[in-house]
C-alpha cells in the first residue's frame, strides 16, 4: 500500500500503540480475506478508542432527543413541532442536527408518516392523527463525530396490521444485529433482516439502505438487506454502521416526490416502517451505540 509498517512503528489507526500490539494481526486477517475474494473494510472506516469515545458522546445526545420525542409525541401535534424540539434540544446539549443543510436538506429531522418511506419533511400542515405511524429519524454532530438513529411511533389506536408492520420491522433489525460479529460478513446481517420481513409477507426497500457512520454522516459500507450470508463486506472490530431497513406492507416499489427531490413514498401508498440503530463491531461481538 504505502510502504510497510515496521512492527515497532506506531499503528496506522492512530492509537499510539506499536503496530505489533495493535492492528498487525488484524491486517493479516484482512489480507487473507482479500486474497479469497472478499470485500474488506478500508482503513479509514476503522475507528480507534478515542474516536469511539467521541462518537458515543454524540450518541448520548441523539438518544436523549429521541427519548424526548417519545415523551412528547401525540395526536394533534404537527411535525414542525417535532423539528423544533429536535433542533432546540440538540443545540442545547452542544450538538448540531446533522440533517440540517446536509446536501440541501432543509430541516433538523426526518418525519415520515404512513406511506412515506423516508426523508419526510416536518411541516405544520402535517398533523398527527389517530391511527398514524411515524418514523422520526435523528442525527447529531458533536465535536465532529456523527450519530444516527430512528424510531417508530404509533399515534392513538393503530390498526393491528400497521402495528404488526412496526413490530416486525423492529424485530428484523435485532435479528440482523444478532448476526453482527467480527470476521463475519455484512450479508449475514442483511439476509437475517430480509428473511424475517419476507416471512411476514413484507418487502424491503432495495434502493436505500444503511451506512457506515461516525467520522462522517455517511461512510462506507453501504448497508443493504437484499444480501446473502457470507457475502458483502467483511466485518472487523472498529467498524460502525447503521441497520435501518425500510419495510413495506405492500410492494417494494418507491418513488421520490419530484417537487422537493427528498420525500420518498411507497408506489402503492401502503404503509412503510423503519427503525434505525447504530452498531459497533467489537473484538467479541457488537455493541449498540445508538437507538
Ligand atoms: N438519517 C438518515 C439516514 O439514516 C439520513 C437523512 S439524510 C437527510 O441516513 F439529509 F435527510 F438528513
Ligand atoms: Co442512517
Pocket test for ligand 1, best of 87, 107, 110, 256 (most atoms within 8 A of CB): 110
The total number of residues shown for the chain amounts to: 291
What is the pLDDT at residue 82?
A: 98
Q: Is the pLDDT of residue 103 over 70?
A: yes
What percent of the chain clears pLDDT 90, i.e. is strictly above it?
Answer: 99
Percent of the chain beyond pLDDT 70?
99
Residue 3: which pLDDT band, with cuts at 50, 70 and 90?
low
pLDDT in tens, 129-156: 999 999 999 999 999 999 999 999 999 9
Does the CB atom of residue 137 touch ligand 1 within 6 A? yes
Kindly report the pTM of this predicted structure: 0.97
Ligand nearest the Cα atom of residue 101: 1
Mean pLDDT, the chain, rounded, equals 97
Q: What is the mean pLDDT of residues 43-50?
A: 98
Tell me the per-residue pLDDT of 147-187, one tens digit each, with 9 for 90 and over.
Answer: 999 999 999 999 999 999 999 999 999 999 999 999 999 99
Q: pLDDT value at position 4?
A: 82
Overall average pLDDT of the 18-44 stretch: 97
Cα of 85 to ligand 1 centre, how many Å? 17
For residue 1, the model assigns a pLDDT of 53
Amino acid at each position: 500500500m504505502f510502504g510497510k509498517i515496521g512492527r515497532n512503528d506506531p499503528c496506522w489507526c492512530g492509537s499510539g500503540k506499536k503496530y505489533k500490539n495493535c492492528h498487525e494481526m488484524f491486517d493479516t486477517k484482512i489480507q487473507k480475506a482479500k486474497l479469497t475474494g472478499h470485500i474488506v473494510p478500508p482503513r479509514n472506516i476503522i475507528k480507534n478508542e478515542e474516536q469511539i469515545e467521541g462518537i458515543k458522546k454524540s450518541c448520548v445526545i441523539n438518544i436523549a432527543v429521541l427519548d424526548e420525542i417519545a415523551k412528547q409525541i401525540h395526536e394533534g401535534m404537527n411535525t414542525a413541532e417535532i423539528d423544533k424540539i429536535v433542533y432546540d434540544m440538540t443545540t442545547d446539549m452542544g450538538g448540531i442536527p446533522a440533517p440540517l443543510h446536509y446536501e440541501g436538506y432543509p430541516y433538523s429531522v426526518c418525519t415520515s408518516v404512513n406511506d412515506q418511506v423516508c426523508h419526510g419533511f416536518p411541516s405544520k400542515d402535517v398533523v398527527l392523527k389517530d391511527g398514524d405511524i411515524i418514523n422520526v429519524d435523528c442525527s447529531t454532530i458533536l465535536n465532529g463525530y456523527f450519530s444516527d438513529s430512528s424510531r417508530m411511533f404509533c399515534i392513538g389506536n393503530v390498526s393491528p396490521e400497521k402495528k404488526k408492520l412496526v413490530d416486525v420491522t423492529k424485530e428484523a433489525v435485532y435479528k440482523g444485529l444478532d448476526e453482527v460479529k467480527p470476521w463475519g460478513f455484512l450479508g449475514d446481517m442483511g439476509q437475517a433482516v430480509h428473511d424475517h420481513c419476507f416471512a411476514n409477507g413484507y418487502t424491503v426497500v432495495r434502493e436505500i439502505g444503511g451506512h457506515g457512520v461516525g467520522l462522517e454522516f455517511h461512510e462506507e459500507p453501504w448497508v443493504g438487506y437484499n444480501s446473502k450470508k457470507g457475502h458483502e463486506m467483511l466485518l472487523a472490530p472498529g467498524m460502525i454502521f447503521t441497520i435501518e431497513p425500510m419495510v413495506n406492507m405492500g410492494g417494494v416499489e418507491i418513488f421520490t416526490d419530484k417537487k422537493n427531490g427528498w420525500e420518498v413514498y411507497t408506489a402503492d401508498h401502503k404503509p412503510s416502517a423503519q427503525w434505525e440503530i447504530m452498531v459497533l463491531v467489537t473484538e467479541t461481538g457488537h455493541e449498540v451505540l445508538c437507538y
